[in-house]
Homo-oligomer: A and B are copies of this chain.
Amino acid sequence: MKDEIGIGIVGFGTVGSGAATILFRNAELIARRVGSSLRVKRIVDRDVTSDRGLALPEGVLGTDLQALMQDASIDIVVELVGGCEVAKRIMLDAIDAGKHVVTANKALLATHGEEVFAAAHRAGVDVGFEASVGGGIPIIQSLTGGLAANRCVSLVGILNGTSNYILTRMKCEGQDFQEALAHAQAAGYAEADPAFDIEGVDAAHKLAIMVSLAYGTPVTMQDIYTEGIQRLTALDIRYASELGMTVKLLGVAKHHGESIEARVHPTMIDSTAPLARVDGVYNAIHVVGDAVGDVMLYGQGAGSLPTGSAVVSDVMDIARNVRQGVRGRVPPTSFHMDCRTPVRIRPMEAVTARYYLRCMVPDQPGVLSRIAGILGDHAIGIASVLQQARREGQTVPVVIMTHRASERAVQTALRTINGLASLVSEPVTLIRVEDQEP
């Protein structure tokens, strides 16, 4: 048994300082749980002067990455620099040096995960990335452990706190997107450049990671249809409420025998569904397994200490292996490397859903029946229509809820409708609807 396990941390920003704080503050508790002491040997960052509210022992914080890599007393390297290329280099260098690695970097894993996992497999080291999805929520360990006996039927999640905060404000305060975004930025919940969050890229990274684990197949960001929240309007959010629905940016994955679907986009769900009630910066992941039925995990999807909690849980998990001299107990791909079989990702056009369509139509007789006719031509059934009081000479919104239809049919029909200026004064707004059991 190894009495002391050495930790090196690269990147001393928000998550790095959170992880370090927990490792120092809860050191005794952690040692009592792991059975060995976890000692932070080195923390490397370019910035060694800013105050992170944490008093480190002399000599721990420095700028020398090579010294950390060459320090034989360091068993586990925690990569928390963010970005892709530099982070990948650090991960691969650490793996080459025979060290186990832990990261919170979803962009890296959703892009270069296979390369990192293959290198770790060859070197016989462990990789932890609980913090890459859902902040402190133990979703990765649940997919690889607690729920591992299940075939994953579906996986639906609120995976980006920034978007969820904005959508919550749009719903609860009636704010428009730009106003809610500005508010999120002022409150520190959105970055100056919020593109990754609001365009769904961050959520797609996280969905790619979860889908890979759940289905034992390599999935990258490119496999996932991705649409953000930046074009949502206060009007559509209001209509959703009238229909008893809530709009969330969801990552959705479903299993269909020989193929899976995986997509990220604004989605209407029944306001009584568990995910509809996840507000503000919280994240939640709803998993349906063939045995367990539905399970939901809910918590803070970001932040220094919540994400640090997930990082340290990985460090502890790997430390338990180091202590007993075992490696590769649970492969980072959840399925053993030679037991994975690529599963086809269903193209977005082949996905089916119900659809919310808002058409801005001139106030003239016959327009609705022509739109309904075009939808009918593409075998799209109409479940309900909501038409506001007519306003003489103005365009009026007509909201159509369809029955289940294929994305291909809907997009084709909308191209026709959008091409007819006599029917709509602007392109039809489309929001997909998911039926989630409450």
Partner-B contacts on A (CB < 8 A)? 18, 21-22, 25-26, 29-33, 35, 130, 135-138, 141-142, 144-151, 216, 274, 277, 289-300, 303, 305-306, 308-310, 312-313, 315-317, 320-321, 324-326, 329-331, 334-336, 339-340
Contacts and interface: CB of A to CB of B under 8 A. Distances in A.
B32 A216 contact: yes
A311 B244 CA distance: 38
A213 to B, nearest CB: 10
Given A33-B334, A295-B297, A296-B297, 7 more contacts: A32-B335, A32-B336, A136-B293, A148-B316, A149-B309, A289-B309, A326-B329
Contacts of A146: 130, 138, 141-142, 310, 313
A320 B309 contact: no
A108 to B, nearest CB: 21
23 contacts: A21-B291, A22-B291, A25-B290, A33-B144, A35-B331, A35-B336, A135-B292, A136-B289, A138-B141, A138-B142, A141-B141, A148-B316, A149-B313, A149-B316, A290-B305, A292-B300, A292-B309, A292-B310, A295-B298, A297-B297, A320-B329, A326-B326, A326-B329
A268 B438 CA distance: 22
A29 B315 CA distance: 27
B306 A293 contact: yes
Contacts of A292: 135-136, 299-300, 305-306, 309-310
Given A22-B291, A296-B297, A145 B149 contact: no
Given A30-B149, A147-B138, A316-B148, A18 B326 contact: no
A325 to B, nearest CB: 8
Contact of A293 (B21, B144, B291, B303): B303
Which 9 interchain pairs have the tightest Cβ spacing?
A138-B146, A136-B292, A149-B312, A32-B339, A295-B299, A292-B309, A291-B309, A296-B298, A291-B305
B295 A137 contact: yes
A151 B289 CA distance: 30
Contact of A136 (B21, B145, B151, B291): B291
